Amino acid sequence: MEPMLILFGVISIIILFLIIRLPAKMIRLLGSGAIRLTIGVLFLFFFNVFGGSLGLHIPINVFTVIVSSILGIFGVTSLAAIHIFIL
C-alpha cells in the first residue's frame, strides 16, 4: 500500500474519534453542571426551610444559585454571613 493512503487513513480515524468523543464530553460537562446547580438550589431551599425559624432567608436567584453550586455548603454559609453582617 502507498504510505500516503495509510497516513490519510490513520488521520481520518483520529479525526473521527475526536468528532465522536467531543459531544460525549460536552454532554458529560453539561450534565455535571446541571447536577451541581440542582444541589445548589437544594442547599438554598433547605437553608431557607431551617433558617426561617431563626429569621434567616437567602433569596433563590441566579447569583445565589451560582455561588452555592460552585462553593457548596461554604457558599451557602458565606451568603448567610453576608445576609447577617451586611444586609
pTM above 0.75, yes or no: no
| The predicted structure's pLDDT at residue 1 | 60
Half-sphere exposure of 54 (CA within 13 A, CB side): 11
Report how far residue 54's alpha carbon sits from residue 83's, in angstroms, rounded to the nearest whole number: 13
Q: What is the mean pLDDT of the chain?
A: 87
| The predicted structure's pLDDT at residue 11 | 86
| The predicted structure's pLDDT at residue 79 | 93
| The predicted structure's pLDDT at residue 76 | 93
| The predicted structure's pLDDT at residue 36 | 94
List the chain residues with pLDDT less than 50. none
